[in-house]
Amino acid sequence: MKKVVIESVAMNGGAGDYSYAKNSSLQRSDGFEAVKSLIHEAIMEKLDIKHLCNGNSIRITDLGCSAGPNTFIAVESIVEAIEQKHHSEGLKLPLPEFHVYFNDTVSNDFNTLFNSLPLERRYFAAGVPGSFHTRLFPEKSIDLVCSLSALQWLSKVPEDIANIGRIHYSNAPSEVMEAYKGQFSKDMERFLDARAKEVVHGGLMVFSFPCIRDGQPYSRFLVGVFFSLLGSALMDMVKMGKVDQTKVDSFNMPFYAASPKEVQALVERNGHFTIERMETQDSPILQGKGAIQVYSKHSRAASEGLIRQHFGHDDEIIDELFDLFSNKLSESFSILEESSMNFMFVLLKRKQD
């Protein structure tokens, strides 16, 4: 059975029961296998390996890499595929050494990331702190970019939205939805502008992130359902006098699931990349009652950081909130089973200027 992939910008650190490190096993499931095979195909079909072999090194970056057990999977798939392509083409030029840049925001736990770097790696590793919505590297210094389950995270919550009693645009008025859409557009523009400067001509970028299909309603989008239930749990806490209503009204999850059409339009407007491949994949939903516990733990690992930042670090409140959320997941099980979770795979190539 296929499983759903959930990831987040603000992973729980450390190695506790609710840490991201202990609750990201889903990402090593078939969802990741599918992305790995898409990355492999992309490199086999689209990478100019002869050109790469003329340089002193092959420079790869993983944008929004986090610090869990899956941090190294994408990069290792890329290195493996390039080695295989080099071997299969029987080139006389030796393959240059790999330089890999692991990027995430400055709040990412880079100490954990560095301590978990594979000892037997075939690349030189560096960590790059900063938002991928800004410049991170010098001009023309990157050959390959990958970013898995990261581009759905907005650089910030859209400003000036009145989203009373909710924490996301799911089931919200259309103005809220439009504000999120606008923020995603701005973020992607900045992202593509920065990468257009940094990536060498002919360089590749591979992305995978949660999306909706063109025309699909948000009310049955799995992550949207999670956020609706978490918002509803917060409102229950308000009714119990444990959380302030204004706190809920001013909190929104900076998560946006774009459609392929939106992404295509943004790439075309930027103008520096050709779309070599763009497809959506269905990740069938977990079935059976065991799914609730998995969803509950994963949602907590992915959202607790942002919740604490806004609502404070009272462990009792946080535990109660996620208990309520788990109950709501159980009550809404039939809705979850009918929901869907899609991922968009995008392969872009940097044009000649």
| Least spacing, CB of residue 127 vs its own copies, in Å | 4
Whichever of 1 and 106 has its CB closer to its own copies, that residue is: 106
Q: Which is nearer to its own copies, 138 or 290 (by Cβ)?
A: 138
Task: For residue 279, count CB atoms less than 10 angstroms from its CB and return exposed for 0-12, middle for 13-18, buried for 19 or more.
Answer: exposed
Shortest distance, CB of residue 158 to its own copies, whole angstroms? 25
Q: Which is nearer to its own copies, 123 or 169 (CB)?
A: 123
Strands 57-63 and 97-104: parallel
Task: Report the residue number, 125 or 317, with the smaller CB distance to its own copies.
Answer: 125
- Nearer to its own copies by C-beta: 334 or 352? 352
Other Cβ atoms within 10 Å of 116 Cβ, number = 14
DSSP state for residue 142 in the 8-state scheme = E
328, 16 Cβ separation under 8 angstroms = no
Concatenated DSSP letters for 270-304?
A: H-SEEEEEEEEEE-PPP-STHHHHHHHHHHHHHHH
Q: Which residues bind its own copies (CB under 8 A)?
A: 56-57, 96-99, 101, 106, 109-111, 114-115, 117, 124-130, 135-141
SS3 47: coil
Q: Least distance (Å) from its own copies to the CB of residue 308?
A: 18
CB of 128 to its own copies, least distance (A): 5
Residues 6+ apart with CB under 8 A from 219: 170, 171, 225
Query: Which single residue is written with the structure tokens 């986090």?
Result: 66
- Alpha carbon of residue 218 to chain centroid: 18
CB of residue 136 vs its own copies: minimum separation in angstroms? 6
CB of 80 to its own copies, least distance (A): 18
With respect to its own copies, which residue has the nearer C-beta, 140 or 351?
Answer: 140
Query: Do 47 and 206 form a contact (C-beta atoms < 8 A)?
Result: no
